[in-house]
A and B are shown apart, each in its own frame.
Chain A
Amino acid sequence: MGLIEGIFEPGLIVTSVDWVLNWSRQRSIFPMTFGIACCAIEMMAAGAARFDLDRFGAGAFRATPRQADLMIVAGTVTCKMAERLRRLWEQMAEPRFVIAMGACAISGGPYHLHAYHVVKGVDQIVPVDVYIPGCPPRPEALIEGLLRLQDKISTRTIAKQAQG
């Protein structure tokens, strides 16, 4: 939740502001530099010239959580890393998004059984918006996940939501 979400009545002006906000947010997702295992190699490939994440406005990898909108958890999350990962996520400015990239981040992957030190799914620590399966996912898969995240962002609104 950002500063202005959920405080306006729905209406024509709100809808137009929504459109502008979502349009700009979709096209300037700054990911955090957060490669923690081999999936990071594919993430780097996606950011480099051949696949070029900058075409979708998501090529500006930030080295600090305070400038980032998106955390791509690209790799195996160990128990020791879990606390750090949660703290980095808490330092990100809202609205913030998380992509779980690869089998390890989704469920522990090859470490699901018989591993004492791996978190079985990063969604135990932070809320995940998009899951990208693969071991590792190819750069095209990461781009697909990013486009699905853009779809998700396009449904956001600053109008008041019905209380459920």
Chain B
Amino acid sequence: MNSTEIIQLLQQQQGPALAAAVADGLHPHVVVPADRLMAVATVLRTDWRLRFDLLRCISAIDWPAKNTIELSYDLLATARGHSFAVKVLLDRANPRVESLRGIWPAAEWHEREAFDLMGVTFLHHPDLRRILLPEDWVGHPLRKDYQYPTEYQGLQLNP
């Protein structure tokens, strides 16, 4: 299926859940509200025409001017050969969204990374710990307004 057909199918199944849809360009995607993400993801994973069985990546993007953190879930259907993306926009002050660990197991570590570096909280995640940085690290370094530490456990970091 091409992007237009995928969007039509989603609109039939989840009509009012889609906030926006982009069918052309380099990154065709739909934007969904945070509370409808689980329902849309379930359709993408289970509908026999879609069968998106591979979650390739979860990208988190910080938009301070828009006061938004954007999550982009990039999907691939290995048997069907089509790919698509779902985006969800979160409040920058308190970004939280349901974990998709139950739909795509690969989401577990991707969500830990987004939590570690961007500070997104994933509800009902089985093991939401930092994945890259030390456990006692302060802050989320990929936020645009992150203040670089001058030292960590006695090590001088910014000479």
How far, in whole Å, are A4 and B102 apart by their CA atoms in the complex? Answer: 61
B153 near A116 with CB under 8 A, answer no
How far, in whole Å, are A112 and B146 apart by their CA atoms in the complex? Answer: 18
Residues of B within 8 A of A (CB): 132-134, 137, 141, 146, 148-149, 152-153, 155-159
Q: In whole Å, how far is B144's beta carbon from the nearest beta carbon of chain A?
A: 14
Q: How many A-B residue pairs have CB under 8 A?
A: 33
A116 near B155 with CB under 8 A, answer no
How far, in whole Å, are A112 and B148 apart by their CA atoms in the complex? Answer: 13
How far, in whole Å, are A116 and B139 apart by their CA atoms in the complex? Answer: 11
Leading 6 A-B pairs by shortest Cβ distance: A80-B134, A79-B152, A116-B148, A116-B141, A124-B155, A119-B155
Question: Which of B133, B153, B156 contacts A117, CB < 8 Å?
Answer: B133
Further 18 A-B residue pairs, CB within 8 A, beyond A112-B159, A117-B133, A117-B141 = A79-B133, A79-B134, A79-B137, A79-B153, A79-B155, A79-B157, A80-B134, A82-B153, A82-B155, A83-B134, A83-B153, A116-B146, A116-B157, A119-B155, A120-B155, A120-B156, A120-B159, A124-B156
Number of interface residues of A (CB under 8 A): 13
How far, in whole Å, are A83 and B141 apart by their CA atoms in the complex? Answer: 20
Q: Which of A79, A83, A124 is most buried by chain B, counting CB atoms within 10 A of its CB? A: A79
How far, in whole Å, are A119 and B137 apart by their CA atoms in the complex? Answer: 14
